[in-house]
Structure 1
């Protein structure tokens, strides 16, 4: 009878999702009718539409700025990088506000409407006569009013992305219960298939949308993107009864400041050798997950020491912190060096939408006498590389590695990222070799015929570097998404995804900074590596420099990864023995 009673209780526990989330009516979610892939499909749909819009604009933006706005290569590349950087840094603000005050679903909905407003303005800048670039097909000097409307639309899209991107991916991952074995495995696949959908959007944006922009005009393309986004916002709202929601937990930075203050106040105390003596609340008194004590950053453990003179008193959080709060602070501090080493990947990604596109424009784009590939469409090769590799990774490599390592992930997060960083080095080496060959062919043609506009080298020479970039993204970018979602405190997961996006944003700004520095230094020798046009530049040397930077960065990353301690979640009981020691893997990068 007792066993039957226990089984009934377990069955009842399994029926509901007890992880602090609620359904659309504020109740404990029913497992069978909320969350997992049912809810994720709605999330993936709106992400798909947003990414089609973003990649459709970003892939061809440098061509628009040089051909319609008549900007030179350096200025256009800087403007693209500034916009991409702003778009991927704004999520730091949106993610913080969502975690602390608004919640993820309301933030996604509001930001989607701002994004839609930006697309509407972009469409109007192409159709309203007073806002159009000019009255003729070729613009020697576009109207100032068009420039204002165009850039206002772009940065309105950036503002919308600020709340949309960090919340949507973490909201999608929230649909899976981490303490349920089956849902946890599905969650590990979620990030892979999220990027599969993202790359399919890149493929569509860089081919169909770019083709419409080049053949029918930016107005027709913007109108298509506006309609698609509007339909997906409606679909996302319709699915609200299937979602699991997390309530905002207030200012997420305040507990970190409390831990640092408490540790400094008790800096003269010695940490106990037994972690069980540190202060922690019982699991029965909290709805969130508790974390186990780790051995790194031991100074912060002093914040959890109970002082003899205050035993039995009500403790101020500015003087005494729980072990979980201490460990959450350690997680944030541990993230900083990993984030810094990830910036070189952001620099590589920035090249795909700027200098790689200008390379393509200087090559033979003809498939036949009647059909010419838009330069920006060659970026679809990177999406194809990722689309090919992610299913192979998720359905073949991961199951094999699970059997070999005994780990649910198959390949640990930091090891996966390191493989991606290795691909970054290879990408820049291949890019340098291809560009050197293109310049050599161009110089030989000038010697033979004099000044020529003939483009001898086929654009398909760029396919290998884009494919390698796609393979690398399957490891580095997907791994970074998992890392910044999994290794931040549970209350800061939107901020975690914003930190991941900031890698791309800061990488774009660093790319612009490098272009400026390299141009300033090399033009003193008579020939700038990044001149007014691509044929007067030496991008091959610039790429070799990036290959060296990425190689040195990989070495620094491996050093940090060896000493990294993963988040350790307490599964049962209140004793230290209840900690899940699998979470405290030391990353051995052989």
Structure 2
């Protein structure tokens, strides 16, 4: 039994939005064109730094060893973890449009700062060619560098949780046509920014490595300016949803109310009245129906006494009585946790190629022919090519062909995609370990710092890393988004990037643990030396592969049960998760 109220919380904050009549005409692929254009330029800029940051810090700041790895991984992780703050600001105060705009401006200033460190020699330590005698940067030089990285991380925190969510806002997912377009959007979103990444990893990285770091960082700075201009040009085509207050605070209220009403026995009686006020369709297009998954949380919405409501039908204590909508929103977040944990395992593998993959390339034969030298960061192109090739084949060839032959949509399920991605991550680390073992042996055999082994031997591990992203990352991003109502899509984006950040932090933690554990009693640690030939990076890769096997078992026998092969059941404006998802969650019920 549900108690309905037409009142709305006065604490909800709003921004000026597109009028209802305009909103119906806005959105769709016309708006997506501007969003993808903005995303492509932004990714071109950010990835041209991410792909080559390790090389830049190694060659221009004379950093190396554990400190270098920590700077890169912690910055990468911070860029992603700030997505949570960006999601809160977006959902509670600014809305996705303004959060994206301010995030882009912060990134522009940050990239400009990094460009200055490359253009002004005084902002860096003196150039050096011998790692053992290189002068380290001074404290204030590190501060300037970290300031630029902090601004970039702050900008990423605003852009990453909102870009995908803002694109998803342009479709009506209450219809089958809208849901199909949303899935296509995910694929084309990944495809478009992957093309931008390949441009960044070829043209921009080549300029940085072989022509000028200053020019190489000025290019992404201009690209960020272009992304802001494109985003603003498309302003009138967007559907802009109003912020509705912090969902995280609502979740805290649900937990508080559930604890306060923990003695309520829902199984004894079915006559309980649940607080379910009417929602504003413009603010909350999808009204969530009460489900029996995570049943202990339902206690937060039970009306035990009429005194819990005021004369306007509003809770007198919002920390003791919550709406069904608030309860179900928390359930949506709790329901993705098992898959979220598995996602972190995949992202640990993907993180290796941005650091150790590039370091391997630095100590390999980079020449193709007598004159052409391949920048190590170019190897990331193979990951992007593999990802783009798979998405193009799947979207443009596989799906149309399957419709013609089978007379139905034979899409690969999310569960199958994620499982395949985990397998690819294991193979990636095994291959990386084999190549590193061969690289190290050949360098020691020839007594040289740089191995005569061609950098082309890194191709398989980078291709497998790209396929890990093509299968697992795309599917995980889609899973997080479709499991959330429209009002929580920024949260879905933040959770996705939070898993990336934890993957980076976990990678840094594993590196430091291995460094300490293997360096005891005066022994040479597996990791940490500036010279990879003195390390045992191959052993490290095999350890990560072993963790991937554990992740595969975990997903196959546990987390995969939370990824339903069915679509969400949508009726009018109400949404209820399918019975499979509910049954898997009942084990947590009170």
- TM-score bracket, normalised by the shorter chain, equals 0.7 to 0.9
Q: What do residues 198-242 of structure 1 show as CA deviations (whole Å, max 9, x unaligned)?
A: 222221222211110111221001111111211221111011000
1:361 and 1:405 map into 2 onto residues whose CA distance is: 49
Is the 2:365–2:454 contact (alpha carbons within 8 Å) kept by the matching residues of 1?
yes
Q: What do residues 366-412 of structure 1 show as CA deviations (whole Å, max 9, x unaligned)?
A: 11111110011111110010010011222344567789999979333
Give the superposition deviation at 1:142: 6.1
SS at match of 1:390: helix
Q: What do residues 168-215 of structure 1 show as CA deviations (whole Å, max 9, x unaligned)?
A: 221111111112332221111111111112222221222211110111
Give the superposition deviation at 1:490: 3.0
- Correspondent of 2:31 among 25, 39, 44: 39
1:551 corresponds to: 549
Give the superposition deviation at 1:306: 3.9
Give the superposition deviation at 1:562: 4.6
2:19 corresponds to: 26
1:8 corresponds to: none
* Farther-moved stretch of structure 1 (193-202 vs 534-543): 193-202
Give the superposition deviation at 1:253: 2.0
1:126 and 1:284 map into 2 onto residues whose CA distance is: 53
Give the superposition deviation at 1:134: 4.4
Q: What do residues 99-123 of structure 1 show as CA deviations (whole Å, max 9, x unaligned)?
A: 1111011111111111111122222
2:3 corresponds to: none
* Farther-moved stretch of structure 1 (514-523 vs 316-325): 316-325
2:203 corresponds to: 208
1:141 aligns with 2:139: no
1:136 and 1:452 map into 2 onto residues whose CA distance is: 18
2:10 corresponds to: none
1:420 corresponds to: 421
Give the superposition deviation at 1:569: 5.3
Is the 2:258–2:296 contact (alpha carbons within 8 Å) kept by the matching residues of 1?
yes
2:489 corresponds to: 493
2:91 corresponds to: 99
1:366 aligns with 2:363: no
User: Given the superposition, is the C-alpha separation of residues 480 and 218 from structure 1 closer, same or farther in structure 2, using an over 3 Å criterion?
Assistant: same
1:227 corresponds to: 222
1:301 aligns with 2:298: yes
SS at match of 1:328: helix
Q: TM-score, normalised by structure 2?
A: 0.86
- Correspondent of 2:480 among 484, 487, 495: 484
Give the superposition deviation at 1:61: 1.3
1:118 corresponds to: 110
* Farther-moved stretch of structure 1 (145-154 vs 69-78): 145-154
SS at match of 1:343: helix
Correspondence 1:520-539 to 2 at 5 A: 520-524=516-520, 526-532=523-529, 533-539=531-537
2:293 and 2:23 map into 1 onto residues whose CA distance is: 39
Is the 2:275–2:303 contact (alpha carbons within 8 Å) kept by the matching residues of 1?
no
1:381 and 1:499 map into 2 onto residues whose CA distance is: 27
2:346 corresponds to: 345
1:23 and 1:236 map into 2 onto residues whose CA distance is: 18
1:286 and 1:373 map into 2 onto residues whose CA distance is: 55
1:466 corresponds to: 462
Is the 1:23–1:241 contact (alpha carbons within 8 Å) kept by the matching residues of 2?
no
Is the 1:212–1:218 contact (alpha carbons within 8 Å) kept by the matching residues of 2?
yes
Correspondence 1:366-445 to 2 at 5 A: 366-398=367-399, 410-443=411-444, 445=445
Correspondence 1:565-584 to 2 at 5 A: 568=568, 570-572=570-572, 581=578, 584=581
Give the superposition deviation at 1:29: 3.5
1:236 and 1:180 map into 2 onto residues whose CA distance is: 27
- Correspondent of 1:61 among 53, 60, 65: 53
Instruction: Report the aligned-residue RMSD.
Output: 3.2
2:573 and 2:166 map into 1 onto residues whose CA distance is: 29
Q: What do residues 287-306 of structure 1 show as CA deviations (whole Å, max 9, x unaligned)?
A: 52122333321212223334
User: Given the superposition, is the C-alpha separation of residues 136 and 342 from structure 1 closer, same or farther in structure 2, using an over 3 Å criterion?
Assistant: closer
Is the 2:86–2:158 contact (alpha carbons within 8 Å) kept by the matching residues of 1?
yes
2:164 corresponds to: 169
User: Given the superposition, is the C-alpha separation of residues 208 and 141 from structure 1 closer, same or farther in structure 2, using an over 3 Å criterion?
Assistant: same
User: Given the superposition, is the C-alpha separation of residues 22 and 267 from structure 1 closer, same or farther in structure 2, using an over 3 Å criterion?
Assistant: closer
Q: TM-score, normalised by structure 1?
A: 0.86
Structure 1 runs not aligned, ≥5 long: 1-20
Is the 1:381–1:463 contact (alpha carbons within 8 Å) kept by the matching residues of 2?
yes
Is the 2:449–2:533 contact (alpha carbons within 8 Å) kept by the matching residues of 1?
no
1:240 and 1:513 map into 2 onto residues whose CA distance is: 43
User: Given the superposition, is the C-alpha separation of residues 329 and 120 from structure 1 closer, same or farther in structure 2, using an over 3 Å criterion?
Assistant: same
Is the 1:95–1:166 contact (alpha carbons within 8 Å) kept by the matching residues of 2?
yes
Is the 1:362–1:455 contact (alpha carbons within 8 Å) kept by the matching residues of 2?
yes
1:269 and 1:565 map into 2 onto residues whose CA distance is: 31
Is the 1:568–1:584 contact (alpha carbons within 8 Å) kept by the matching residues of 2?
no
Give the superposition deviation at 1:140: 4.3
SS at match of 1:28: helix
Give the superposition deviation at 1:264: 2.5
* Farther-moved stretch of structure 1 (198-207 vs 362-371): 198-207
SS at match of 2:61: coil
Is the 1:23–1:244 contact (alpha carbons within 8 Å) kept by the matching residues of 2?
no
Structure 2 runs not aligned, ≥5 long: 1-13, 586-590
User: Given the superposition, is the C-alpha separation of residues 468 and 153 from structure 1 closer, same or farther in structure 2, using an over 3 Å criterion?
Assistant: same
Is the 1:279–1:321 contact (alpha carbons within 8 Å) kept by the matching residues of 2?
no
1:214 and 1:284 map into 2 onto residues whose CA distance is: 55
Correspondence 1:190-209 to 2 at 5 A: 190-209=185-204
Correspondence 1:320-359 to 2 at 5 A: 320-359=321-360
SS at match of 1:254: helix
* Farther-moved stretch of structure 1 (565-574 vs 543-552): 565-574
2:431 and 2:227 map into 1 onto residues whose CA distance is: 39
- Correspondent of 2:260 among 265, 278, 282: 265
User: Given the superposition, is the C-alpha separation of residues 235 and 461 from structure 1 closer, same or farther in structure 2, using an over 3 Å criterion?
Assistant: same
- Correspondent of 1:291 among 258, 276, 288: 288
Is the 1:34–1:242 contact (alpha carbons within 8 Å) kept by the matching residues of 2?
yes
1:58 and 1:153 map into 2 onto residues whose CA distance is: 13
